[in-house]
């Protein structure tokens, strides 16, 4: 095109001299300029920027305005659907990439995706150890790093398709680089500098049509632009339709006018611009004659995914769930599937990214397709999407290697309304997604997801449904992780409270269940170790911690300590390799478990030192009211007691009992256990009447909540018997001891240290009521078993040999 023919409205030119048609040479300088520009772009950290549109047209003024206005604060590209807001943002990111050290794309139409994208930025900013470790804490650290410009001073964040400005308020205030928002919401004007994005200028429409529709003349281009209102999305559809069906421009325009008249006559309230509705109706009539039936079937299903890119593997690998469908047969044939995707793309109904193996459909097209479907077709399409999503479920939400897959599914589960499905596999994905969000630390999204699912399921699902029960357990675990108590949410008498309360008790009663747990955890450990090919992996180490806990609960303290020491070293390697931070809950839970095992194995001072370190880390990282902090405080108090630091032990256990009652509720196992331990300190310090009253009250609560034969209840009975003996009420102490010993032998076995502690104490009470022969037999048998179980040098063996009583205390279950 000659300089005299250039459309001066298409791009702003600042008195640039005419190009020299005879210019030659200087290739070395031009090449160096291109190289410098490309090298600068290559140094930029990129985060999920969509691919550049090679046919991008115009928008020069807006691109210049974005570049000029970034320093003034957040910018918002605001306009109706279909005008190309996202395309402008993508073009800007690519065109000016060399201006930035970091460019990060954030899908903002769903809050979980927004939060996940921001949290994923943390490693790129060198953020590893974050106090709290919830996703909100990570995002706060990301915002602070951006605000300070560490390590990148020149950065660009793009929030695509944001809804409410309030959703980004905290993030916008962190702006130290550039923040660019795309949105249909006009309310952004009070939170950012708004750049209105309207339809194409006529010159841009003409340029687009000249470029994309071969042979179109200016008059026809003007007429097509008029009919489409210069709307970019519908111009793209028109280009596709005219090019693929050899439709004459006049025939196409006549159909457009006819369809627009019908829509206006019907008085329909559209969720999209009128030109789009008319263009879609024309396209639908023509496409049905030219696009294979299976392509339309696929389109119907794509409409029920999210508007974010859909991995093609999600469809191709899940094809087996589309039983009896012609679509399934097409997907099985790679060539046929390729042809189907190309047909969809040729008509501008969706866009395939070959490099990323994804397909994406515009939101307006999704809405239009769903509106066209009959109720039965809508139901069938939605059900197939639910089954495809479920088929992609790795079924390993705790496995960090599966998190990328769950992140990919997360962008589609909300738009597809997965929680409405009654398919078992879909419901499994619902609970797995809740578990994934919980272990990942996205507690806010997890809470919303569980609440939405419970609201749906509790109206339609029997109370004994396993998935419903699993979801309620996750709700209880979430509240525990957040430091909240379920009674606050459900009410003290709600059935969920009782179920949640029982689920929070990790320690089961019969010893046989501990044995089963040990076998299961050992098998899990072996499977995970074989899968990852190493012990130094968070998932493998988590199973290793469970094995150590099982050994301790079985009373095999020496083995529990030895295994725990090994896992402690493995976690150090995991932390050193940067897999998880040093203050991660799994790391601290394992260390607390080891401290307990050390104490019970007789390593009292080593236990105290480790318990103190664990408590300090919990307190600093998660705060004084977190359940993990409370558990660590109780464990440290027990360590102080056994090394005779009674003042420190009393102070800690009294504080823990009060906080447990406030945070977890009066009947939580940790609250009752802390109250019992506080009473134990009164006993140790000789305040026997008060200790007796506390034990009496706590024993009644334990019996009500857990039953009279639970070992928590029996521990409290042992301590009550010791207090009664100290008060001279030996007959009552003997009676309680007899009853407790019988129950413990049945529940935990004759060789469990708790059973033997009860036997030792009972032998002393028998002596006080003159049953010397039975007392001696019981004492000798108990000390022999203790030596065999704990070793001859264990402190408990020494205490028993000197005919003293043994104290028993509560250790909180795993957090």
Confirm whether 548 is domain-assigned.
Answer: no
Confirm whether 354 is domain-assigned.
Answer: no
pLDDT at 762: 97
CB 762 within 8 A of CB 734: yes
Task: Please choose, from the candidates 542, 445, 543, the residue with its C-alpha nearest in 3D space to the C-alpha of residue 134.
Answer: 445
Confirm whether 423 is domain-assigned.
Answer: yes
pLDDT at 510: 43
The predicted-structure confidence for 798-813, as pLDDT tens digits, reads as follows: 999 999 999 999 998 7
Confirm whether 464 is domain-assigned.
Answer: yes
Stretch among 133-147, 188-202, 241-255, 576-590 having the lowest mean pLDDT: 241-255
Average pLDDT rounded to a whole number, residues 436-454? 87
Task: Please choose, from the candidates 61, 1, 362, the residue with its C-alpha nearest in 3D space to the C-alpha of residue 200.
Answer: 61
| C-beta atoms surrounding 576 within 10 Å | 10
| pLDDT higher than threshold 70 for residue 39 | no
pLDDT-based confidence at residue 36 (cuts at 50, 70, 90): very low
CATH number, residue 81: 3.40.50.300
pLDDT at 634: 97
> Strands (DSSP E) along 522-614, which ranges?
none
Confirm whether 673 is domain-assigned.
Answer: yes
Which of 469, 486, 504 is the last residue in one of the domains? 504
Cis peptide before 151 (omega within 30 of 0): yes
Residue with the larger pLDDT of the pair 39 and 647: 647
Tokens in use for 328?
Answer: 């399934």
pLDDT-based confidence at residue 509 (cuts at 50, 70, 90): very low
Winning range, highest mean pLDDT, from 70-84, 365-379, 571-585, 672-686? 672-686
The predicted-structure confidence for 661-675, as pLDDT tens digits, reads as follows: 988 888 888 999 999
Confirm whether 89 is domain-assigned.
Answer: yes
CB 198 within 8 A of CB 88: no
| pLDDT higher than threshold 90 for residue 608 | yes
Average pLDDT rounded to a whole number, residues 606-635? 93
Determine the Cα–Cα distance for residues 485 and 50; give it in Å rounded to an integer. 43
- pTM of the predicted structure, to 2 decimals: 0.59
Percent of the chain with pLDDT over 70: 84
Which of 178, 196, 214 is the last residue in one of the domains? 196
Which of 173, 196, 219 is the last residue in one of the domains? 196
pLDDT at 244: 62
pLDDT at 173: 61
Give 516's Cβ-side CA count (13 Å radius).
Answer: 7
Winning range, highest mean pLDDT, from 40-49, 98-107, 223-232? 98-107
Confirm whether 677 is domain-assigned.
Answer: yes
pLDDT at 538: 87
| C-beta atoms surrounding 671 within 10 Å | 24
Confirm whether 243 is domain-assigned.
Answer: no
Determine the Cα–Cα distance for residues 541 and 567; give it in Å rounded to an integer. 7
Average pLDDT of the chain, as a whole number: 83
Q: Which residue has the tokens 């150890």?
A: 129
- Number of domains making up the chain: 3
Measured CA to CA in angstroms, residue 146 lies from 42, 174, 391 at distances of: 21, 7, 39
CATH number, residue 802: 1.25.40.10
CB-based burial of residue 748 (10 Å sphere; 0-12 exposed, 13-18 middle, 19+ buried)? buried
Residue with the larger pLDDT of the pair 223 and 504: 223
| pLDDT higher than threshold 90 for residue 441 | no
pLDDT at 801: 92
| pLDDT higher than threshold 50 for residue 28 | yes
Q: Could you list the residue range(s) of the whole structural domain that residue 65 is in?
A: 41-196
Determine the Cα–Cα distance for residues 249 and 224; give it in Å rounded to an integer. 8
Stretch among 30-34, 209-213, 337-341, 595-599 having the lowest mean pLDDT: 30-34
Stretch among 358-362, 465-469, 685-689, 777-781 having the lowest mean pLDDT: 465-469
The predicted-structure confidence for 76-129, as pLDDT tens digits, reads as follows: 998 887 788 899 999 999 999 989 999 999 998 888 888 888 888 888 888 876
């Amino acid at each position: 095109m000659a300089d005299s023919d250039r459309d001066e409205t298409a791009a702003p030119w600042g008195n640039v001299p005419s190009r020299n048609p005879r210019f030659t040479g200087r290739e070395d300088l031009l090449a160096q300029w291109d190289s410098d520009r490309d090298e600068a772009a290559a140094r930029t950290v990129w985060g999920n920027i969509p691919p550049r549109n090679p046919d991008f047209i115009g928008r020069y003024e807006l691109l210049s305005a974005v570049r000029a206005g970034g320093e003034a604060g957040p910018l918002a590209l605001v306009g109706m659907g279909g005008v190309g807001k996202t395309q402008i943002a993508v073009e800007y990111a690519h065109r000016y990439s060399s201006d930035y050290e970091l460019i990060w794309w954030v899908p903002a139409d769903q809050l979980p995706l927004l939060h996940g994208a921001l949290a994923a930025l943390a490693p790129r900013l060198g953020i590893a150890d974050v106090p709290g470790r919830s996703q909100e804490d990570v995002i706060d650290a990301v915002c602070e790093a951006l605000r300070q410009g560490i390590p990148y001073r020149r950065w660009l964040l793009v929030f695509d398709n944001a809804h409410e400005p309030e959703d980004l308020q905290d993030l916008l205030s962190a702006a130290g680089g550039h923040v660019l928002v795309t949105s249909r919401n006009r309310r952004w004007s009070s939170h950012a500098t708004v750049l209105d994005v309207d339809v194409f200028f006529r010159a841009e429409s003409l340029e687009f049509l000249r470029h994309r529709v071969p042979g179109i003349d200016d008059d026809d281009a003007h007429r097509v632009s008029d009919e489409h209102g210069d709307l970019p999305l519908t111009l793209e559809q028109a280009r596709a339709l005219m090019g693929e069906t050899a439709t004459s421009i006049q025939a196409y325009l006549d159909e457009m006018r006819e369809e627009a008249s019908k829509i206006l006559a019907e008085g329909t309230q559209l969720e999209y611009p009128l030109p789009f509705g008319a263009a879609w109706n024309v396209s639908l009539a023509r496409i049905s004659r030219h696009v294979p039936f299976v392509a339309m079937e696929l389109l119907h299903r794509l409409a029920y995914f999210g508007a974010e890119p859909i991995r093609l593997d999600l469809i191709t690998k899940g094809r087996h769930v589309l039983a009896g469908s012609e679509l399934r047969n097409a997907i099985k044939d790679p060539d046929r599937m390729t042809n189907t995707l190309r047909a969809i793309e040729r008509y501008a109904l969706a866009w395939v990214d070959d490099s990323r193996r994804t397909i994406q459909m515009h939101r307006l097209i999704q809405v239009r397709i769903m509106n066209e479907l009959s109720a039965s077709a809508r139901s069938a399409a939605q059900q197939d999407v639910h089954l495809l999503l479920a088929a992609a479920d790795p079924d390993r939400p705790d496995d960090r290697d599966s998190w990328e897959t769950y992140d990919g599914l997360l962008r589609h589960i909300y738009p597809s309304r997965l929680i409405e499905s009654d398919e078992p596999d879909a419901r499994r994905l619902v609970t797995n997604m809740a578990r994934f969000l919980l272990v990942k630390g996205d507690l806010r999204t997890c809470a919303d997801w569980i609440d939405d699912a419970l609201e749906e399921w509790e109206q339609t699902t029997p109370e004994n449904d396993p998935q419903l029960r699993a979801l309620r357990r996750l709700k209880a675990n979430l509240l525990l992780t957040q430091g909240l108590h379920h009674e606050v949410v459900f009410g003290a008498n709600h059935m969920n409270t009782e179920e949640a309360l029982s689920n929070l008790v990790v320690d089961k009663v019969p010893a046989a269940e501990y044995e089963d747990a040990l076998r299961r955890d050992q098998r899990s450990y072996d499977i995970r170790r074989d899968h990852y090919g190493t012990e130094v992996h968070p998932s493998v180490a988590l199973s290793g911690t469970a094995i150590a806990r099982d050994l301790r609960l079985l009373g095999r303290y020496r083995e529990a300590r030895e295994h725990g020491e090994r896992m402690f070293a493995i976690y150090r390697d995991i932390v050193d390799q940067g897999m998880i931070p040093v203050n991660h809950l799994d790391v601290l839970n394992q260390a607390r478990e080891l401290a307990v095992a050390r104490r019970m194995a007789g390593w009292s001072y080593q236990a105290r030192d480790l318990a103190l370190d664990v408590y300090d880390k919990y307190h600093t990282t998660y705060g004084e009211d977190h359940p993990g902090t409370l558990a660590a405080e109780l464990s440290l108090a027990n360590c102080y007691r056994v090394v005779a630091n009674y003042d420190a032990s009393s102070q800690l256990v009294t504080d823990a009992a009060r906080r447990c009652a406030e945070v977890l509720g009066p009947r939580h196992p940790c609250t009752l256990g802390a109250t019992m331990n506080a009473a134990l300190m009164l006993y140790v310090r000789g305040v026997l009447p008060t200790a007796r009253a506390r034990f009496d009250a706590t024993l009644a609560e334990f019996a009500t909540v857990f039953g009279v034969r639970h070992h928590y209840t029996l521990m409290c009975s042992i301590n009550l018997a010791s207090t009664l003996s100290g008060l001279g009420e030996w007959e009552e102490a003997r009676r309680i001891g007899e009853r407790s010993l019988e129950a413990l032998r049945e529940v935990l076995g004759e060789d469990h240290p708790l059973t033997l502690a009860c036997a030792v104490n009972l032998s002393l009470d028998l002596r006080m009521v003159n049953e010397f022969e039975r007392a001696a037999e019981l004492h000798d048998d108990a000390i022999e078993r203790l030596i065999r179980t704990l070793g001859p040098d264990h402190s408990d063996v020494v205490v028993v040999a000197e005919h003293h009583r043994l104290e028993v205390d509560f250790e909180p279950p795993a957090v």
